[in-house]
């Protein structure tokens, strides 16, 4: 069964961890969306400067190309904060489904501040919440809670997709 998932949410919600766990459960590739930011965008974030919509367009287009080119199953992480960003990614693959990892702002700040080796500083968490347009109510979106164990998040996604887990699924 072909399925493409995009794990989304603000920085610190656990997108990367959930993406890796879901890819293992589905026995498919995991794509870290942050790896496709332009160096100039990474530099801006490293300096604590929020990205603009214009900064994100080439990034979203690169991710859209990956989605379009992928055959079979794929799990990708991407903040996808705004509806226009999600719609741009849906244009690349209309069957794309989103897993929204919901987190409250205080927990996101705490998690981001505790990361030692990431280009995204805790000072930008507020800007992500300001930009976030909740995907709840959009077709093809499942909300999971960041506070839930990753295994529970994966189980919820697999039930939603009606896909039995592979033997390598997280326990």
Q: What is the pLDDT of residues 16-46, one digit of tens each?
A: 999 999 999 999 999 999 899 999 988 888 8
For residues 88 and 67, the answer to whether their CB atoms sit within 8 Å is: no
Query: How much is the pLDDT for 42?
Result: 87
| DSSP per-residue letters across 46-79 | HTTPPPPHHHHHHHHHHHHHHHHH--S-EEEE--
For 101-151, how does the pLDDT look when each residue is reduced to its tens digit (9 = 90+)?
Answer: 999 999 999 988 876 665 566 677 888 899 999 999 999 999 999 999 999
Q: At 48, list the tokens.
A: 């604590």
Q: Tokens 């994966």 correspond to what residue?
A: 154
Q: Can you give the pTM of this predicted structure?
A: 0.89
Query: How much is the pLDDT for 169?
Result: 45
Could you tell me which residues come within 8 angstroms of residue 16 by beta carbon, excluding any fewer than 6 positions away? 32, 34, 77
Q: At 21, list the tokens.
A: 């766990």
Residue ranges and CATH numbers for the domains of the chain are 4-161 (3.40.50.300)
- Has residue 164 got a pLDDT over 70? no
d(CA 5, CA 67): 9
Q: Tokens 């991710």 correspond to what residue?
A: 63
d(CA 30, CA 61): 18
Could you tell me which residues come within 8 angstroms of residue 49 by beta carbon, excluding any fewer than 6 positions away? none
pLDDT, mean over the chain: 90
Percentage of the chain beyond pLDDT 90 is 72
Q: Which residues pair with 29 in a beta bridge?
A: 74
Cα dihedral across residues 137, 156, 101, 74: positive or negative: negative
């Amino acid at each position: 069964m072909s399925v493409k998932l995009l794990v989304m949410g603000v920085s610190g919600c656990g997108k990367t961890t959930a993406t890796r766990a879901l890819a293992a459960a589905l026995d498919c590739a995991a794509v870290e969306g942050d790896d496709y930011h332009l160096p100039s965008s990474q530099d801006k974030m490293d300096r604590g400067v929020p990205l603009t919509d214009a900064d994100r367009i080439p990034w979203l287009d690169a991710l859209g190309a990956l989605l379009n080119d992928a055959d079979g199953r794929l799990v990708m992480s991407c903040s996808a904060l705004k509806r226009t960003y999600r719609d741009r990614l849906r244009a690349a693959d209309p069957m794309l489904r989103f897993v929204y990892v919901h987190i409250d702002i205080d927990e996101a700040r705490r998690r981001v501040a505790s990361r030692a080796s990431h280009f995204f500083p805790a000072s930008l968490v507020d800007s992500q919440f300001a930009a976030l347009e909740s995907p709840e109510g959009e077709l093809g979106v499942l909300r999971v809670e960041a506070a839930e164990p990753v295994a529970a998040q994966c189980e919820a996604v697999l039930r939603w997709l009606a896909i039995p887990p592979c033997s390598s699924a997280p326990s």
